[in-house]
Amino acid sequence: MRKFWLTIAALLVAAAPAWALDARLKAGLLKLDPDTRLEQRCDAEALDRIGHDKNPYKPDRVVAYAIKTPTLQGDTIESPGAAFRAKGEWYRLSYSCRTADDRMHVLSFRYRIGDKITEADWPKYNLWR
């Protein structure tokens, strides 16, 4: 039985940095104005969803306004011209995200991954390696 609890304790310690990051992200989001919070929260949701769904991508960055300015209406953001970076390459992304009134809890999220953005086009969209 002791071995079981030591294993559980080890797993909790290993997971602690992820919890700390989540707490830091939440604390940082709460410092933002509501519109920026909505955009940043939904960008984080895009990272999480793309990274965990069945696809070859493990994104490390999302930019909601890379190709086209997103539209905000209430607690919803429509970002048809977003982009995400995975393994040093950028890809087109469109997403729709609705949050609760606090703009912290995602209520619905839909996305579609588009084509790879050629490196020659990166300067046009202010993208980087």
pLDDT per position as a tens digit, 4-42: 333 333 333 333 344 445 888 889 999 999 999 999 999
- Give pTM, 2 decimals: 0.82
Helix (H) or strand (E) holding 18: helix 2-30
- The Cα–Cα gap between 75 and 86 comes to 28
117: closest CA among 96, 98, 89, 94? 89
- The Cα–Cα gap between 89 and 78 comes to 23
pLDDT per position as a tens digit, 107-127: 999 999 999 999 999 999 999
